[in-house]
Structure 1
Amino acid sequence: MSNIFFTSDQHFGHKLIIDFESRPFGSVEEMDRVMIEKWNSVVGTEDTVFHLGDFSFLNLEKTREIVSALNGYKILILGNHDRSRGRNWWLEAGFNEVSEYPVIYKDFFFLSHEPMYMNKHMPYVNVHGHIHSQKYEGKNYFNICVEHWDYTPLSFAQIRDYVVVNEEG
């Protein structure tokens, strides 16, 4: 049985993100290696991963190497740092699907790179990236940025259970 995972904002190859976000890595090479290991420690080859943007700052060849090293069927929702390269560039880099726009998953989860406007009457939870170590208040937002989750993708079940617990609390 395959599982569904979510993650965002690895910024592979982006040396400055280590300082910007106080990431616990001594070098960009260590950061990239650890994030690949953590991805593959939870994602199997038959699983699907929704990547919610800002994947890589590397060239096509190096980005393709990373994408091919990662387990799973990979769907990219373009982030602000991905859009300049265009949809076809990311498909050529090895993503199985690429969306320029947010996606609704399971009629309840609104998947986007940047947090989207959500009022308390909307029936969705916005699973998003972009804001790194910051958090939006309210039960309608779930920040999937790697800084919050030990640089590891989260499963659909983990997010669903987290949302249910917080709605009850």
Structure 2
Amino acid sequence: MKKIWFTSDHHFGHKNICKFSNRPFNSVEEMDEELIKRWNERVESKDDVYHLGDVGLCSSDRLKEILEQLNGNIYLIRGNHEGAAESCKSRFEWIKDYYKLKIQDTDFESGEQSIILMHYAMRVWDKSHWGTYQLYGHSHGELPDDPNLLSFDVGVDCHNYYPISWEEVKTIMSKKTWTPPFVKGNRR
């Protein structure tokens, strides 16, 4: 069965990201190899992966080599480091700045859940007051999570360098203390 995955901020080929984000790799080559391995341990060839930006900071030829090793259909939300990725457009199903994803899921009252996908965290977003989720990257785990907002960082630095599944997203969101602002007696 086809699965849906979310991830961000791999920074493939970025020599300084290990230092900047305190990643446990001795070299950029070791990091790239491990990130590819962890991606493919979870993602199957038929799966959909929503990458929320900053795929790589390297030459477009090097990034193309890396992208060809990754399983799945990759949908890219632009981050602030996509020069090489823009040169590899054919590897992505599409490249956008922002996307509203609707996932069919009978666990939700309406039979679906909407998710706003963007590289950057937002405090409010389209239909956030109705329970729409927002997933982001960019902050490399440095932005404290707000338990009252239905959003969180899907970047690899926050999830042991793995993409996370739709099921994992639902589990994380179920632990949030968010309540709809229009519920009687709720004053936000």
Specify if TM > 0.5. Answer: yes
Equivalences for residues 1-169 of structure 1 within 5 A: 1-82=1-82, 84=83, 87=86, 89-92=87-90, 94-99=91-96, 101-106=97-102, 107-118=113-124, 121=129, 123-134=131-142, 135-137=144-146, 138-167=148-177
Quick one: structure 1 residues 37 and 86, their matched pair in 2 at CA, closer, same or farther if it must change by over 3 Å? closer
Point out where structure 1 has 5 or more consecutive residues left out of the alignment: none
SS at match of 2:76: strand
- Count residues with an aligned counterpart: 165
> Do the aligned partners of 1:52 and 1:112 also contact (CA within 8 Å) in 2?
yes
How far, CA to CA, are the matches of 1:24 and 1:48 in structure 2? 28
How far, CA to CA, are the matches of 1:25 and 1:85 in structure 2? 22
Shift of 1:67: 0.6
SS at match of 1:105: strand
Looking at secondary structure, tell me which structure has more helix per residue. Answer: 1
TM-score under structure 2 length normalisation:
0.81
SS at match of 2:100: strand
Shift of 1:90: 3.5
Quick one: structure 1 residues 142 and 79, their matched pair in 2 at CA, closer, same or farther if it must change by over 3 Å? same
- The code of the aligned residue for 1:96 comes to E
Structure number with greater CO (CA < 8 Å, separation at least 6) is 1
- The code of the aligned residue for 2:129 comes to H
> Do the aligned partners of 2:149 and 2:178 also contact (CA within 8 Å) in 1?
no
> Do the aligned partners of 2:150 and 2:176 also contact (CA within 8 Å) in 1?
no
TM-score under structure 1 length normalisation:
0.89
Partner deviation per Cα, 1:6-56 (whole Å, 9 max, x = no partner): 000000001111011100000000000000000000000010100000001
Structure of higher CA gyration radius = 2
Alpha-carbon RMSD: 2.0
